[in-house]
Chains A and B, each alone.
Chain A
């Protein structure tokens, strides 16, 4: 008995040791990569005065404030503010603090310039979030406590720049005031604040800088109204645009007397038509106006006199003014000329001559220049040199100096909209001999080093060399398909409309293309990217063709805006076809059907609920018509609280050229709007593969999973509790979870959680759904699991019938057969709030699953699905233990070693995408946000392959040693036998 117990203990140890899947320190970077981005730059402040590290501080549209190395573009430090904490402005004060104003002028923070530590933070009382301005006085008198002025809403705050204390606060006691310009004439204590009240009144305040006292205030109204843009031309003249954006209004406000002067733009610029925009700039007496085709520089000569200086044809960009001395300012003009960019720098004192003129070659896939920031440096001959930081249309950031692009950052990758994966090309025969020899030598050398490392004979230098070899493995970065399916292309679509292919080996950009149809044009004024789908995946036929992806966009933000299609080659980024559709895009359904060239069939539902079939070929129509009676679709209307199900039908004759099908409403589920609102829906991934329909439970019993791709998980919450956590009491908050069959509209299961509210995250896989929400009663987050089983197959338990194949388990099933289902569910507490939920997928679906949880700390946590098993009980029986059921606990454990992202953070995490590798045990995980992170994980360990650090050399050595030993002993025994015989 004691032996049995001992054995049992041993087995238990063996089993329990398989749970942890942590990483060793030297394994970091072998299979994973991490890239840091900042997003599209909005503001940039250079800090180059002091000797030492030159840097530029930027704030971006992804709410990142970062300090970049001006020499290389690397990030010194970076802070990602929350999603709702929009950065309004950024500046540098006292020469050592970076000040950021965010959240509609209500939060002011100071960061230490060298290392990015927060120095202080002030919350300002702002009546309503509105356009806000930050004013940091330029005259830096050392020793004097400089005040930072924040204009926001109808108030002015003055804060001490050393500690963020509010020194004074002035309420300007007017509603709907919007301060447009703030300036401080040199060496004066008076601040001029100019703005608009409503849309027609102009107001000028003179405020004492030290006390906040309003010295003078003058108002005047202008009858045709303002559009809200104004540009300061000189110390006493402001130029604004009127409401129709066709007149320039020059406003003089000298000594509190306000005069308006209206100038028709067409009088100045005869070819002007449409609407003008004022470019925000601060030049002495110069104004930049953006009219549709070009940028016009105007000189303000007097109150009513404007003169055209220069017209710069579009596409071009112009920088802010850079003060060089008290009376001289410089600004940069960048102008496109096909693939070249002309870079000019001018002084405002001498506009006809250029100080600097350079031409730069530019990659065509970056689009037009959007923003330019200028900075100067001293050359050795004491003249000014200039460098510019350029923000391109694809959100990339470049530094241009001396006619060259010094560095560039692909910051469009901080705003990924959607992603998919593609296989790499198959390896061709005929590798050159030299390469083989080289790699053979390298291989031997590498293995020799590895062997030394294994035998602990390596010196520290050699250990470093081993690590370098492992990290820069030639194998993982090849541009061909590998046996394990680890090498793939991740094809991402960014918000700028750029499609990039990243290599899974090291994350480098293989190709990128800025889609022409997703750029602003006359036909499509405001295009934006939506999704990316697999268009053509050649498997058996059409092998000579490259796989391609379908990029879907829309012209404008309304649902009835026309859709945009673009088909891009996945190997080289060539755009095969792109078109602006005649109809809108409301839903896209990739069908599980392919045509003869292995193009996936897609159904596009437009805003009139008409269905369009793509690709528009007669071949695809023929294939589709065969399957049409079995194709259904449904629409979730969140605002109306309705889910409607439709089938497709042909009314009258089918137009073969158009392929338009009409909807036929089949069912609808109406949620009572006084008690429920739809909070979230989730479905299974279409490409998920399930290995088996049976779940073997304790004692060899079988439960049949209800596996259907047509399951829709819907979570509804009480309307009162649809806000943030804490906005409702536990009594008035509830959450309903539904499982709905989307073919027949049947509600398979419904469960309520009293006192629960969102935000809800859910993931559906196989026959289960896991969802995460907040429990108001327990004041904790909870995760629930629902597993759904098919009761109608339960009687398939006769072994002989199964042996002889007399069962109906593999017969096709229909949703209309209404199988009886049973449901098992369980809830657990979970410590973290969640940003994203995903589940691992493997090639055959055999490997056990792990949930991937994007935590609030921007990390990805892997949690075994076994912890979320509804059959967990407090005291599992022996057979349940053998099955691997974990004893019930009230909360889910967070094992620090099971963070997929180990020590890294994927700042601003928005999505986790999993793709199966060819190797069954392995899943590729790509998570994106502001940062990108890729790794591969094996939920049940790599049971089907040797680990990366397996020493082949040691194995070889062992074999050789064994063979040698065998030969020696054989020879010895032969000798002995012979001697024996002679005796």
Chain B
């Protein structure tokens, strides 16, 4: 397959100046009776329709992308339930992946919606949904972390590092030494 593709067009040199219109016939005058301006509205309509369809498709796609973390969320939840609440390799791995995935997704939120960026498409709402879902996933991860007891959310987590209180008095003595 690849070879064929390669063979199709190994290289090309365009000597024409306005190479951008290479395929069009702009140099050739319009045939008689052809009014370029007359055909304009119809053409514009078609292109608008096409653009509308594209933007609709884009926004639909954006919504799809925005909803994608939801599935992920469900799967993560299932995995977490499977892992149980004791600290060991699996549960820690799952929890950290559950934390890492939303964070990395949030970092790349612009990139994810790049292809659907359009002046006509409102990608803010899907973006927000995407962010919200990822935050929910993050929250789930944090919650999991807490159930594993890895978050310093109890008094015990803060107290155990405190040194014992020093004593004011000192007392010695006892039985007479013998």
Which residues of A come within 8 Å of B, CB atoms?
3-4, 7-8, 10-11, 530-531, 552, 559, 585-592, 603, 605, 627, 630-636, 638, 645, 681, 683, 690-694, 696, 700-702, 704-705, 707-710, 712, 742-743, 796-799, 802-803, 809-816, 882
Q: A11-B86, A812-B167 are in contact. Are A587 and B155 (CB under 8 A)?
A: no
**Complex Cα–Cα for A916 and B33 (A):** 106
Residues on A with beta carbons closer than 8 Å to the beta carbon of B82: 3-4
Cβ of B168 and Cβ of A633 under 8 Å apart?
A: no
30 A-B contact pairs sorted by A residue (CB < 8 Å): A7-B90, A10-B88, A11-B86, A530-B178, A559-B176, A590-B172, A591-B170, A591-B172, A630-B169, A630-B170, A631-B171, A632-B170, A633-B172, A634-B171, A634-B172, A635-B173, A692-B164, A693-B163, A694-B160, A694-B162, A696-B156, A701-B156, A702-B155, A709-B167, A710-B169, A743-B169, A796-B155, A811-B165, A812-B167, A814-B167
Q: Which residue of B lies closest to A690 (CB)?
A: B164
Cβ of B167 and Cβ of A681 under 8 Å apart?
A: no
Taking CB atoms and an 8 Å cut-off, the chain B residues in 137-161 that contact chain A are 149, 152-161
Q: Which of A552, A586, A636, A710 contacts B167 (CB 8 A)?
A: A710
Residues on B with beta carbons closer than 8 Å to the beta carbon of A683: 174
Q: A743-B169, A797-B155 are in contact. Are A681 and B174 (CB under 8 A)?
A: yes
- Taking the closest CB of chain B, its distance from the CB of A590, in whole angstroms, is 7
Q: A796-B159, A812-B167 are in contact. Are A531 and B177 (CB under 8 A)?
A: yes
Q: A700-B156, A882-B86 are in contact. Are A814 and B168 (CB under 8 A)?
A: yes
Cβ of B159 and Cβ of A630 under 8 Å apart?
A: no
Cβ of A742 and Cβ of B171 under 8 Å apart?
A: yes
Q: Which residue of B lies closest to A705 (CB)?
A: B164
Residues on B with beta carbons closer than 8 Å to the beta carbon of A690: 164
Residues on B with beta carbons closer than 8 Å to the beta carbon of A589: 172-173
Residues on B with beta carbons closer than 8 Å to the beta carbon of A645: 171
Residues on A with beta carbons closer than 8 Å to the beta carbon of B90: 7
Cβ of B175 and Cβ of A693 under 8 Å apart?
A: no
Residues on B with beta carbons closer than 8 Å to the beta carbon of A815: 167-169
Is B110 located at the chain interface by the 8 A CB criterion? no
Is B29 located at the chain interface by the 8 A CB criterion? no
Is B41 located at the chain interface by the 8 A CB criterion? no
Q: A7-B84, A692-B160, A692-B161 are in contact. Are A587 and B173 (CB under 8 A)?
A: yes
- The number of residues on chain B lying at the interface, defined by a beta carbon within 8 Å of a beta carbon of chain A, is 33
New A-B contacts (8) at CB < 8 Å, excluding given A592-B170, A631-B172, A796-B159: A530-B177, A587-B176, A627-B170, A692-B160, A702-B159, A798-B155, A812-B168, A813-B168
**Complex Cα–Cα for A805 and B48 (A):** 65
Cβ of A809 and Cβ of B84 under 8 Å apart?
A: no
- Taking the closest CB of chain A, its distance from the CB of B119, in whole angstroms, is 43
**Complex Cα–Cα for A693 and B155 (A):** 13
Cβ of A605 and Cβ of B173 under 8 Å apart?
A: yes
- Taking the closest CB of chain B, its distance from the CB of A416, in whole angstroms, is 16
Cβ of A636 and Cβ of B158 under 8 Å apart?
A: no
Residues on A with beta carbons closer than 8 Å to the beta carbon of B164: 690, 692-693, 705, 707
Which residues of B come within 8 Å of A, CB atoms?
82, 84, 86, 88, 90, 149, 152-178
Cβ of B177 and Cβ of A587 under 8 Å apart?
A: yes
**Complex Cα–Cα for A100 and B159 (A):** 63
**Complex Cα–Cα for A335 and B49 (A):** 128
- Taking the closest CB of chain A, its distance from the CB of B145, in whole angstroms, is 14
Q: Which residue of B lies closest to A645 (CB)?
A: B171
- Taking the closest CB of chain A, its distance from the CB of B154, in whole angstroms, is 4
Cβ of A631 and Cβ of B163 under 8 Å apart?
A: no
- Taking the closest CB of chain A, its distance from the CB of B166, in whole angstroms, is 5
- Taking the closest CB of chain B, its distance from the CB of A662, in whole angstroms, is 15
Q: Which of A635, A636, A743, A809 contacts B162 (CB 8 A)?
A: A809
Q: Which residue of A lies closest to B84 (CB)?
A: A4
**Complex Cα–Cα for A855 and B92 (A):** 45
Cβ of B162 and Cβ of A693 under 8 Å apart?
A: yes
Residues on B with beta carbons closer than 8 Å to the beta carbon of A633: 171-173
**Complex Cα–Cα for A708 and B165 (A):** 9
Residues on A with beta carbons closer than 8 Å to the beta carbon of B176: 559, 586-587, 635
Q: A11-B86, A531-B177 are in contact. Are A710 and B161 (CB under 8 A)?
A: no
Residues on B with beta carbons closer than 8 Å to the beta carbon of A691: 163
Which among A10, A690, A708 has the highest number of chain B CB atoms within 10 Å? A708
Cβ of A810 and Cβ of B163 under 8 Å apart?
A: yes
**Complex Cα–Cα for A696 and B174 (A):** 33
**Complex Cα–Cα for A888 and B162 (A):** 31
Q: Which residue of A lies closest to B172 (CB)?
A: A589
**Complex Cα–Cα for A687 and B171 (A):** 14
Residues on B with beta carbons closer than 8 Å to the beta carbon of A694: 156, 159-160, 162
Q: Which residue of A lies closest to B81 (CB)?
A: A4
**Complex Cα–Cα for A277 and B88 (A):** 79
Q: Which of A681, A712, A809 contacts B159 (CB 8 A)?
A: A809
Cβ of A630 and Cβ of B178 under 8 Å apart?
A: no
Residues on A with beta carbons closer than 8 Å to the beta carbon of B173: 587, 589, 605, 633-636, 742
Q: Which of A8, A705, A813 contacts B86 (CB 8 A)?
A: A8
Cβ of A809 and Cβ of B168 under 8 Å apart?
A: no
Q: A531-B177, A700-B149 are in contact. Are A809 and B165 (CB under 8 A)?
A: yes
Q: Which of B86, B166, B175 contacts A812 (CB 8 A)?
A: B166
- Taking the closest CB of chain A, its distance from the CB of B31, in whole angstroms, is 51
Residues on B with beta carbons closer than 8 Å to the beta carbon of A552: 177
Cβ of A812 and Cβ of B165 under 8 Å apart?
A: yes
Residues on A with beta carbons closer than 8 Å to the beta carbon of B178: 530, 559
- Taking the closest CB of chain A, its distance from the CB of B66, in whole angstroms, is 33
Q: Which residue of A lies closest to B90 (CB)?
A: A7
Residues on B with beta carbons closer than 8 Å to the beta carbon of A802: 155, 158-159
Cβ of A586 and Cβ of B177 under 8 Å apart?
A: yes
- Taking the closest CB of chain A, its distance from the CB of B171, in whole angstroms, is 4
- Taking the closest CB of chain A, its distance from the CB of B146, in whole angstroms, is 11
Cβ of A799 and Cβ of B167 under 8 Å apart?
A: no
Residues on A with beta carbons closer than 8 Å to the beta carbon of B157: 700, 799
Cβ of A799 and Cβ of B154 under 8 Å apart?
A: yes
Residues on B with beta carbons closer than 8 Å to the beta carbon of A692: 159-164
